[in-house]
Each structure stands twice: as structure tokens, then as C-alpha cells.
Structure 1
Amino acid sequence: MTDTNSIGLPESSAAQLAEKLNQLLANYQTFYMNVRGYHWNVKGQEFFQLHVKFEEFYTDLLTKVDEVAERILTLGYTPVHAYSDYAKLSRIVEDKDVSDGQSCVKGILQGYQTIIELQRDVLALASDADDEGTADQAGQYIREQEKTIWMLNAYLGR
């Protein structure tokens, strides 16, 4: 009997990674729903600009939800898929009834900051486990989202 999974990672490392990735998945799902709500409910003079931008964000987040879930499956584990699990695992909280553009952008900024922090934890675990696949995925997401944070801060005049 071997103590490695089907892609050659130690089972203990794969289990830790899957647990951390499930936390990331829960945060992505909650963040996705927040951004979807911002898209639906934003009002004001910047409606047209923000409505389109928010759709771009939530479309990308939904892609990442799928990719994170598939990485968990690749590691040999099951992705969480119930809203009750997301509520327990997510550090991002539901943001209800927000329609002011500035508040929506601030919510997105905070969401990305949380996601990046979690992905850095995933990256550290993956690096320690010599899990190049998970490390590469997390690294790509971080690079992309750091630029998004810069642009959101610029939009807010920071």
C-alpha cells in the first residue's frame, strides 16, 4: 500500500491542500454571489460602466470556482457544494442590498484581498508539498488579481 495519491503527492499533503482549497472554493462562491448582486443592483451615474465591469468579474470568478473544484478532484477529494458549507467555511460574508457603485467596488476590492490571502496560504502549502499544479494555479490567480486590486484602488482614487 502506498501513501501517495494518484498524481504522486503524499496523501497527508493532498488532504491538507484539499481542505484549504475547499475553504478557497467557499470564499470564491460567496464572492461570486456578491459580485453577481452588485451587477444586478448597481445604480447611479456609473451604472453602464460598472454593470459591464461587474459582469466581467463574476464571469471570471465562476471560471475559477470550477477550476478550484476540479483541482480538489484531481487531488482525490470532493469539493464542497452546499451553500450551508460555504457559509461555514467562507471568510467573505454575504453583502446584501448594495447598490451604490463605490460601495460595490469596495466590496469587490475586499473580496479580492481575502481571496489573495487564502491563495497565498494554498501556494505555501502546495510549494511545501512539491505540488506544482496547485502552486501554479494559485500563482497565476494571485498575479492576475493583484493587478485587479491595483485597478480597483485607482478607480477609488487611492
Structure 2
Amino acid sequence: MNKTLLGLDTQKNSDLVKELNGLLANFQIFYQNLRGLHWNIKGKNFFELHLKFEEFYTDSQIKIDEIAERILTLHGKPLHTFTDYLNTATIAVGKDISNDVEGVELVVNSLSELLKNERSILELSDAASDEGTNSMMSDFIAEQEKTIWMLNSWLGK
């Protein structure tokens, strides 16, 4: 069995890099959606959501860097063009959203899609004995599950 310098099976490592690039693409679209929501939100919840969307995009920016650096740690090449992101991402692009409920629903749906990616990566990284990726995905999942709960509470669900 061929191993990487990190002691991971080369094929499993390659699969992880591919899936992490998918997550990177989704996070980049999520980030841009959050920027748009931050800029365009209107209505009585403007002040609350304007700050919340900024909090979310700042956090996403950190996660984007962590994902790209994990890909590099695994000796992969992170996607880095908007074309690659749009061709790879599964998250919906939110355009011209200014309504509070519609904006929060977009965030919840995007987080749900990110969770699917992360759980898939967690399964792969567990099978590859890749504790670094396991730990990252576990942290992302726990945080995003809580955020979905809070946003659904805001929505009255």
C-alpha cells in the first residue's frame, strides 16, 4: 500500500483532497452569499442581521483558509478561481436578497449543504485515519449544527 509523507494511503488522501476542494468551493460561495446579505439586507431586522451576517462571513473567511491549508498539508492544490468554485459548488448562489426571512433561510440551507459535505469528508477521513481532517470537520459540524438551531429559532421553526 502506498503512503504519503503523513502516513496516509495515497488513494484515500487523493479522495480527501477532492472532497475538501468541494467544501472549499461551497464555502467560497457561502462567503459571497453572506457578503451580499450583509450589504443588501433591509427592514426592521437590519441592524441585527447586518451584524450577524458580518460575523458569519468573517468566520467563513477563517474556515476557507483552514480548508485550503489542510488541502496543502495533504499535498493537494486548493481551488482558487471563481470559475472553479462555480463549477464545483453545490450551494445555491443567493442574488439580490434583501428580505430578512429569505436571507436567513438561504444561510440555513447553505449550512445544511455544508454539513452534508463535512459529514462525507468525516467518513473519508475516518477511514483514512486522518485525525487532522477529522478534528477540523468535527469542529465545523458542531458549530454549524448549533447555528442552524439558532437560526431556525429566529425563523420560528
TM-score by length of structure 1 reads: 0.98
**Within the alignment, does 1:31 sit opposite 2:30 as a pair?**
yes
After superposition, give the CA deviation of every residue in 1:45-90 in whole Å (9 maximum; x if it has no partner).
1100000000000000110000000000000010000111111110
Identity in percent: 46
Corresponding residue for 1:11?
A: 10
Paired residue type of 2:96: D
For the 8 Å contact 2:92–2:110, the answer to whether it is kept is no
State whether residues 118 and 137 of structure 2, in contact with CA within 8 Å, keep that contact through their aligned partners in structure 1: yes
Aligned partner of 1:75: which letter? L
The answer for the alignment partner of 2:154 in structure 1 is 155
Q: Deviations over 1:9-43 (max 9, x none)?
A: 11111100000000000000001000110000000
> Is the Cα–Cα contact under 8 Å of residues 39 and 51 in structure 1 kept in the other structure?
yes
User: What is the correspondence of 1:1-158 to structure 2 with a 5 Å cutoff?
Assistant: 3-158=2-157
Gaps of 5+ in 1: none
1:3 is displaced (CA, Å) by 2.0
Q: TM-score, normalised by structure 2?
A: 0.98
Task: Give the distance between the partners of 1:122 and 1:137, measured in 2 at CA.
Answer: 10
Output the aligned Cα RMSD: 0.8
Where in structure 1 do 4 or more consecutive aligned residues deviate above 6 Å? none
Mapped partners of 1:16, 1:88: distance in 2: 18
Q: Displacement of 1:93 after TM fit?
A: 2.1
Instruction: Report the residue type matching 1:147 in the other structure.
Output: K
User: Could you tell me how far apart the structure 2 residues matched to 1:12 and 1:117 are?
Assistant: 22
Between Structure 1 and Structure 2, how many residues are aligned?
157
Secondary structure of residue in 2 paired with 1:81? coil
2-structure distance, mates of 1:148, 1:67 = 19
Q: State the alpha-carbon separation in 1 of the partners of residues 41 and 35 from structure 2.
A: 10
1:86 & 1:74 partners in 2: Cα distance? Answer: 20
> Gaps (5+ residues) in structure 2?
none
Inter-partner Cα distance in structure 1 for 2:4 and 2:27: 26
Separation of aligned partners in 2, 1:115 and 1:151 = 16
